[in-house]
Each structure stands twice: as C-alpha cells, then as structure tokens.
A and B are shown apart, each in its own frame.
Chain A
Amino acid sequence: MGEPLLVRLIADGPPSLWEWIARNWDTGRVGSIKDLLGDHLVMSLVPIVAGLVLALPLGLASARWRWLYQPAAGVFNVVYALPSLPVFMLLISVTGLSKTTVIIPLTFYAIAVLLPAVVDGLGSVPDHVRQSAVAMGFTPLRRLVQVELPIAVPVVLAGLRVVAVSSISLVSVGALIGQGGLGMLFTRAYQNPFLPPVVVGIVLIVALALVADGLLVLAQRLLTPWVRARRAS
C-alpha cells in the first residue's frame, strides 16, 4: 500500500465527491452506484421483512406456550453472537456466492432481535385489558388481532428499528464474498486506494439507515396514535 491518504488529503484538499458520483452513478455496467444501491436495498429489506414474518408466529407461540420461549430465545441468542463473515463463508458451500448467502444470516439476526420484542410486546398488554377483552366475548383470534397486537406494536417497532439499521449496515460485510451492495465500494476503494468510494459508501449506508429508521418512526405514529395523544396530554 502507498502513503497514507491523509497526507495527500491535507496537501491537495478534499477530492470532488460530486464529480465522482456523477461519473459512477449509472455507468450502464455492473457495479454502478445505482446498481449497488439496488442490491443493497434488496439484501437488507428481505431479511427485515422475512425476519418480521418469521418472528411474529414464533413470538406468538412463545407467548402462548411459555416453555417454548426459553429454548427459542436461547438458540437465537447464540445465533446472534455468531460473527457474520464466517457464517457467510460457511454458507457459500450451500448457497454459493449469491445474495441468498448474505440474506439468510441477516434474517436469523433479525429474528434474534424481534423474537424477544414480540414476546415483550405481547407481555406489555396489561392483564386487565386482556381480561376485559375476554369478558366482552372476543374470540382468541379477534382478541389477538384487535386488542393484543395493536398494544404490542410500539415494542415490536422499536425492535424493528434496531433490525433495520443494523441490517442495512451489516450487508456491507458481504462485500468480502463479492455480495455487499454498497459495501462493494469499500473493497473497491481498498484495492485501488481512493477515498471517494469509501466516503460515498459510508454516507449512503448511513443515509439509508436513517431513512428506514424515519419511516418506521412514522409508521409507529400512524399505527399507534394513542401513544402520542397520551404524551401530549
């Protein structure tokens, strides 16, 4: 590797990021920023959605049958501790150098965060509310859909915010097996020492995470208007 780029940065001033973005945004070839952004969205959105879809029934079952929760939470607690890179590597022999190899582990991480969130969310339903729903003659399914899930929404969404932000940032590690979305900008910059791709990559990933986070906050406001009303009063 050559001299530290900080030296050149101080000597030459900051490189023109806009010019670099404009040149590389849509080259028409594989690996343009636009292309990588699309890949990044797919690889981070799929685990978020799949994680939620899988964690919901698992969480409902754990809340219903408490004996299930400890072992399930234990397993996902261990899964969460596994570093992503070796897991990607081990999966290559099964799923090849594909997006799936990145998507599967991220989905499991998402479940690890969302499972306790769903269980805690359902646990946050006050017992008197549950009892009065039973007393009013709600069937178990109606009670779940109309009473318990809405009350659980804030806790589940808080978990989903964590999942969204960390999935978006974790996808970039996939670049080390050639499937990293915007993370590919980092490996590209490292192989051919050049600052703009790293800076643009970091900024775009953080921006993406903030947008996702903001959308989830907005979703929470729309789904649970009573929370804000209570806070205002």
Chain B
Amino acid sequence: MSWLSDFFGDPANWSGPDGIPARLLEHLEFSALALALAMLVAIPLGLLIGHTGRGGVIVVISANLARALPTLGLLVLFVLLLGTASILPVIIPLVLLAIPPILVNTFEGIRSVDPELRDAAYGMGLTGGQVLGRVLVPVALPLILLGLRLSAIQVVATTTVAAYTGLGGLGRFVIDGFATKDYASVVGGSVLIVLFALAVQLVFTLLQRTTVSPGVSRRVKVRQVASGRETT
C-alpha cells in the first residue's frame, strides 16, 4: 500500500511529459488511433463480406491465425525491421492485432441476420444500401459493438506492452519502474492501467446499452397493453 501512496502522493508524478496526466493522454491517444485505424479497415470490410457472403472462410481462418500471433513478438519484429524513427513500427502491429475481432464480429453479425428479414427488406423495395444501413447494421449492432469492445481491450493491453519497444503511455511507468526496480512506479502504473481498462470496458458497455435498439437487445419493460381484442 505504501507503494501506492509513494506513487500517487509524489507531486512530481503529476506533471511534466512523464507525469500521470501526460502518460494517460498518450495511452488514450495511441489506443484511440489504433482502434480508429482498425475500424476504418475492419468495419467496411466486415460489412462488405457479410453482405455479399463472399470471402467469409478467409476471414475466419485469418482471424484464428491472428489470435495465435504473440503481440510482443510482433512489436519487436516491426521495431527491429523498421527502426524507431517514428511510432509507425509500433502502430502497425497495434492496428494489425486490433482488426480481427472487429472484422470477425462485424462479418458474423451481418451474416447471421435472419435471411427472412433480408428477404422482407428487399421485398418492400429497400435498395441494397438501405437494406444494409437500415436493417442489417441495426440488427447486427450487438455483435459489431462486441467486436469493438474486444478490440479496444486488446489495444489497451497491447499499447501497454508496446512501452517495452519505446512507445509512451501508461506502460512506461511499469516497464521503466521494473527496469530500475522502482516498485512504487510499477504498482502505481499497473493500477492506472487496470483502471483505464475498466473505464474502456464501461464505456463500451454503456455504448451498447444506448445504441442497440430495445427490440434487438430485448431489454425493454413489458408494458402490458390492456386489450380485449387480442385474438391471437
């Protein structure tokens, strides 16, 4: 416990480029950047593959393969190959590892929409784009958001590990503290990262609650309609 008060109680840890606010902001920036880039690639691709039904097998196989890739190994490989002149060698594996959860869940979400629903939508005269935007995406939203949440968790964790290869963010406290046997920094940084991860989890859970239609999540208070005319 004294490590925690040493770390959070030290005013030097609250200012400057290696203070808690700056590191927190860095962690947020890198995570958000990687997640945004991954979304930019994975969501359209997942929608396209799910909507057309082509290439699904490749998506599933490559996603399974991606799960087997060790994050630390990938980070070290890219940094060794491309050097540390920019953060690009770190961001590339971050994005690569963030893509599969979004891609797979978006694809699965769209693909698993009841074919009758798709049929009804086309049958009523919706165009292909309208069917995707107004029917398939809202119905697949729980899975799409699940993919985003899993990916966000992954990115936060990978960003932490990436501190080892020189990236900023909260991982610095842990990595640098471990290297210099500054255990207050290690424990304080670890607690910060855990809280950060929980906050991310909470944000995505709230996002799910607010954006998914109650008709899809079935999260709705059943107001019994008084009716004597329900014949069925």
Q: Which residues of B contact A83 (CB under 8 A)?
A: 153, 156-157, 160-161, 193-194, 197
Per-residue 0/1 for B68-84: is the Cβ within 8 Å of any A Cβ (1 yes, 0 no)? 11111110110111111
* Beta-carbon contacts under 8 Å, A87-113 to B: 87, 89-90, 92-93
- Contact status A93-B187, CB under 8 Å: yes
Given known contacts A176-B175, A186-B72, A206 and B187 CB-to-CB distance under 8 angstroms: no
- Is A85's CB under 8 angstroms from B73's CB? no
Residues of B within 8 A of A80 (CB): 153
A229 sits at the interface (CB 8 A): no
Residues B41-74 near A (CB distance < 8 A) = 64-65, 67-74
Chain B interface extent, by class: 35 or more
User: Does any Cβ of A come within 8 Å of B40's Cβ?
Assistant: no
> Closest CB of chain A to B102's CB: distance in Å?
16
| Chain-B contact segment, one of A16-24, A49-57, A133-141, A191-199 | A191-199
Interface centre among A81, A190, A213 (most CB of B within 10 A): A81
Within 8 A of B (CB), among A153-190: 162, 165-166, 168-170, 172-173, 175-177, 180, 182-183, 185-187, 189-190
Q: Do A85 and B157 touch (CB < 8 A)?
A: yes
* Cα separation A111 to B88 with both chains bound (whole Å): 35
Pair B194/A202 contact, Cβ less than 8 Å = no
Are A169 and B79 in contact, with the CB atoms below 8 A?
no
A206 touches B186 (CB 8 A): no
**Chain B nearest Cβ from A226, distance in angstroms:** 23
Is A6 among interface residues, defined by CB-CB distance under 8 A? Answer: yes
Q: Does B168 contact A (CB under 8 A)?
A: no
Contact A205 B67 (CB under 8 A): no
- Is B190 engaged at the interface, CB distance under 8 Å to the other chain? yes
In chain B, positions 187-215 with a C-beta closer than 8 Å to chain A are 187, 189-191, 193-194, 197-198, 200-201
Total A-B residue contacts, Cβ distance less than 8 Å: 141
Q: Does A147 contact B (CB under 8 A)?
A: no
CB distance B80 to A87 under 8 Å? Answer: no
A38 to chain B, nearest CB (A): 17
- Chain A residues lying within 8 Å of B70, measured Cβ to Cβ, are 169-170, 172-173, 182-183, 186, 201-202, 205
Q: How far is the CB of A231 from chain B (nearest CB, A)?
A: 16
If the complex has contacts A198-B80, A205-B68, are A176 and B194 also in contact, measured as CB distance less than 8 A? no
Interface size on A, residues (CB 8 A): 51
B residues in contact with A5, CB < 8 Å: 80-81
Q: Is B164 an interface residue (CB 8 A)?
A: yes
Check: B171 CB closer than 8 A to any chain A CB: yes
Cα-based distance from A3 to B76 in the complex (angstroms): 14
Instruction: List residues of chain B with CB within 8 A of the CB of A180.
Output: 72
Q: For residue A201, which residues in chain B have a CB less than 8 angstroms away from its CB?
A: 70, 73
Residues of chain A having any CB pair with chain B under 8 Å: 1, 3-6, 9, 77-78, 80-87, 89-90, 92-93, 162, 165-166, 168-170, 172-173, 175-177, 180, 182-183, 185-187, 189-190, 193-195, 198-199, 201-202, 205-206, 209-210, 213
- Identify 6 residue pairs between A and B in the complex whose beta-carbon atoms are under 8 Å apart, listed by A's number: A4-B82, A4-B85, A89-B187, A180-B72, A183-B73, A194-B80
